[in-house]
Amino acid sequence: MSDVVVTRTFNAPRELVFEAWTKPEHFSVWFGTDAVDVPLDTLALDVRVGGAWKAIMQLPDGHQINWVGEYTEVAPPERLAFTMTDDPANPSDVPIVVVFEEVAGGTEMTLTQLAGDFTQEQIDATIMGYNGFFDSMEKVLAAQN
pLDDT at 132: 94
Q: Are 4 and 129 in contact (CB under 8 A)?
A: no
4-144: CATH topology:
Alpha-D-Glucose-1,6-Bisphosphate; Chain A, domain 4 (3.30.530)
pTM: 0.94
pLDDT at 1: 54
Q: Are 140 and 32 in contact (CB under 8 A)?
A: no
**Average pLDDT of span 52-80:** 96
pLDDT tens-digit map of 31-50: 978 889 999 999 999 999 99
Give 97's strand partners: 81, 112
**Average pLDDT of span 110-120:** 92
How many whole angstroms separate alpha carbon 3 and alpha carbon 132? 18
Averaged pLDDT score across all residues of the chain? 94
Task: Answer yes or no: is pLDDT of 7 > 90.
Answer: yes
pLDDT at 35: 85
First to last CA, the chain: 38
pLDDT at 32: 79
